[in-house]
Structures are given as C-alpha cells and as structure tokens.
C-alpha cells in the first residue's frame, strides 16, 4: 500500500515551544482528602455543570467521592448570583431559564461545603471564534520495523480568529458511531445501535507568539480497525473554547504531572494549583479549575471509513453447528445468530453464549440520534 507521511501541528508541542510559560514544580499531595472542582460556564444556551468531589491520597486506590450537600453559586461582576442545584451526588447544575453566560462578563464561583468556604478568582468570559473546518483522512501507517501497516482514520481541526482576540484555546469532543452487528438471524432492532464517548484527552493551544490566531491540521483523534468506530457511520462534535492564559497554564501543568491518560480527575500524583481557594483555610489545598469560556462547535460526519465485515464475530465466543441443532455443550443459554453455507452445502448456524452478540442493545443505545440521517443524507 502507498504510505503517506502526515505532518501535523501538535498544539501542545509546537505552541508551547514558542511561548513564555514558566516552569512548573508541583507540590506533593499530603492531605487526607481534598476538594476537586470541575466547573464550566459558557455562553451556550444550556445548563452549566459544577462537579465537586473529595479525592483521596495517591496511596489509596478508592475512586473519588462525591462532595454532597454543598451550596454552589456563581456571581457576576455586578453582584448578581445564580444558585446551582444538586441533581446527582456531587453534580450541581444551573437553571438554563435563569442564567446564561455573556461575553465580556466576569464570573466567580462560590462554594460552601461542610462549613468551609471556597471561592474562585474572577473569570472573564471571552467569545470563541467559530471552528473553521473539520477534516478526516484514511491512510496506512507502519506498525513495526518490518514495514507492516494498518489502516487508520485521523480527524483534524482547522480554525482561525481574524479578530486576534483569542490566543489560548481548548477543545473537547464527543464521538458517536453506528454499530451494525453482521449476523443475519437477528432483527434490525437487535443489529443496529448507536453509542457515544466523550474525549478525555487534554487539547490546548497557544498562538500568542504567532503572527495570527490560526490552528492548522490539529489532530483530534486517530483510530484503527480494532475499534468499531470506523465500521459504519461515525460523527464527531467538537467544542472549541476561548480560554485565559491562566487556564491554559493550568491544563499544561496537568499534562506535565499526570502520567495517566484519563486527565485531571483520575488520582493525581502531585498537586496542580487551580483557580479555586479555600477562603476559610488558606492552607487547604484545592484541586481543579472553574472555567469560564465562550464556546463554538462543529460536527463532522464520516461514512464507512474502515469497514471490516467480520469484526463482531471475532469478538464473540461461538460454535458452528448444523442448522436447527443447538450444541449440547453450550447448554440452554445459547443463541443462533447467523446462518450460512459453504459452496451451497447444508446450512449451518453460528451459536453463541455471549448475550451481547445477540443484541447490540445490551451495550449500546437503540435510539438513533435526531441529527443522524440529516447529517449523512443531506
């Protein structure tokens, strides 16, 4: 196969090298537990979420604990306040009918939890420029020294701010793809589903030292045919945020000290100072960040980039038997999922014990996204 060399701009590597970001030396976490804040207010017409957790020291393997029963509010520069309601343990949401972030305004987060007061620094909401384009390409990349290759899909972003108002960017994305089990004894409802997954990668860029606020060919994700993402129809929704220099430095520092791929809210080996402080105890360490940012978004639709018809059968434990006969070795909980014959010979069934191979609804959603058909058939 023809191989193609891909020259991508890694916003982290390229743009960090040209910026004057100070070196960060983290403090080692020694508290019994510490409040972690994951908050975002934008100018989108939606409910804003503040997630509060009590994280454990590194030597403990327990997952984060929701910080329940907190009083959470956001205050603007004129002193107007909006209360957030706890809808799930540790999850606090705004009322979209009452509160919407506005470009040019500053917002401060205030938290009261277990008698302790916490407050963020005031954050200015900067409008985000629109995403210019999203592109994709399918190419073959080498996977070993012998020159073997695999086919992959790369999704990339291109954006520019002609007003030069945005020097620091952050991106998140949501992937959604269609699952089609390839077994002909299943109904349509059993075979066709949809699933979604949010990104956990930290994607930030700094254009301050460049002649224009332009990001070209930034790789968002690359996937191969080991995943079912590229088997049928795939879509990605990208959110672009215009962030402050302080928030950019925060995410950069998180990447430097975290050795996991899960991002900030896994167990962190060192403390990354954010913009939230404990006002009732200045010595208390608080992790996380309250982000205030304008947001723009764009969606890309990709049809069948890496179709592999036998993907799902390789993921199932199965046995081939004469049609109409269930193998005694499989017991009563066996399902016939596929019928076939070889050279017009007798029909045979593929029998499985894996219930997930009989109905994609066991691991995905049967509900088609409302934008799906319009995006692929426009």
| Tokens representing residue 76 in the block | 């603007």
Q: What pLDDT does 206 receive?
A: 87
- Closest by alpha carbon to 173, among 159, 160, 156? 156
Q: What pLDDT does 2 receive?
A: 36
Q: What pLDDT does 30 receive?
A: 53
Q: What pLDDT does 64 receive?
A: 75
Q: Kindly report the pTM of this predicted structure.
A: 0.82
Region 248-274: what's the mean pLDDT? Answer: 67
Residue 62 lies in a domain: yes
Q: What pLDDT does 3 receive?
A: 34
SS (H, E, C) 163-182: CCCCCEEEEEEEEEEEEECC
Residue 259 lies in a domain: yes
Region 25-42: what's the mean pLDDT? Answer: 76
Residue 47 lies in a domain: yes
Residue 287 lies in a domain: yes
Cβ-contact 28, 271 below 8 angstroms:
yes
Residue 15 lies in a domain: yes
Q: What pLDDT does 279 receive?
A: 97
Q: How many domains does the chain fold into?
A: 1
Q: What angle do CA 171, 25, 39 make, to 5 degrees?
A: 35
Question: Token match 């701010």: residue?
Answer: 161
> Which domain does 285 fall in, by range?
11-127+243-295
Residue 322 lies in a domain: no
Average pLDDT, the chain: 84
Q: Which residues, including other chains, have CB under 8 Å from residue 378's CB and lie 6 or more apart?
A: none
Question: Token match 């982290």: residue?
Answer: 12
* Residues found in the chain: 378
Q: What pLDDT does 334 receive?
A: 80
Highest mean pLDDT among 9-13, 30-34, 334-338, 367-371: 367-371
Lowest mean pLDDT among 17-31, 85-99, 318-332: 17-31
Residue 329 lies in a domain: no
Residue 146 lies in a domain: no
Per-residue pLDDT tens digits for 122-173: 999 999 999 999 999 999 998 888 888 899 999 999 998 767 676 899 999 9
């Amino acid at each position: 196969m023809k191989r193609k060399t891909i020259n991508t701009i890694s916003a982290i590597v390229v743009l960090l090298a040209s910026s004057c970001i100070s070196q960060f030396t983290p403090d080692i976490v020694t508290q019994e537990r510490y409040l972690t804040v994951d908050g975002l207010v934008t100018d989108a017409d939606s409910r804003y979420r503040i997630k509060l957790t009590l994280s454990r020291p590194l030597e403990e393997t327990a997952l984060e604990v929701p910080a329940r029963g907190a009083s959470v509010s956001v205050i603007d520069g004129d002193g107007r306040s909006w209360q957030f309601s706890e809808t799930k343990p540790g999850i606090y949401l705004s009322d979209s009918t009452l509160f919407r972030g506005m470009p040019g305004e500053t917002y401060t987060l205030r938290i009261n939890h277990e008698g302790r007061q916490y407050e963020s620094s005031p954050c200015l909401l900067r409008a985000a420029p629109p995403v210019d384009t999203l592109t994709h390409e399918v190419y073959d990349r080498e996977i070993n020294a012998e020159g073997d290759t695999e086919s992959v899909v790369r999704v990339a972003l291109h954006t520019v701010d002609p007003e030069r108002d945005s020097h620091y960017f952050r991106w998140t994305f949501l992937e959604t793809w269609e699952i089609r089990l390839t077994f002909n004894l299943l109904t349509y409802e059993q075979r066709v589903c949809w699933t979604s997954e949010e990104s956990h990668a930290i994607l930030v860029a700094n254009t301050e030292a460049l002649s224009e606020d332009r990001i070209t060919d930034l790789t968002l994700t690359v996937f191969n045919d080991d995943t079912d993402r590229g088997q049928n129809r795939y879509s990605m929704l990208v959110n672009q945020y215009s962030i402050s220099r302080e928030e950019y430095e925060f995410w950069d520092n998180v990447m430097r000290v975290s050795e996991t791929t899960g991002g900030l809210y896994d167990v962190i080996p060192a403390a990354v100072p954010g913009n939230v402080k404990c006002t009732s105890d200045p010595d208390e360490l608080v992790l996380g960040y309250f982000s205030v940012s304008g947001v723009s978004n764009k969606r890309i639709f990709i049809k069948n980039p890496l179709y592999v018809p036998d993907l799902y059968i390789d993921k199932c434990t199965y046995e081939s038997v004469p049609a109409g006969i269930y193998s005694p070795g499989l017991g009563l909980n066996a399902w016939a999922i596929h019928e076939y014959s070889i050279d017009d010979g007798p029909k045979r069934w593929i029998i499985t014990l894996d219930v997930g191979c009989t109905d994609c609804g066991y691991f995905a959603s049967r509900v088609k996204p409302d934008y799906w058909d319009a995006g692929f058939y426009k």
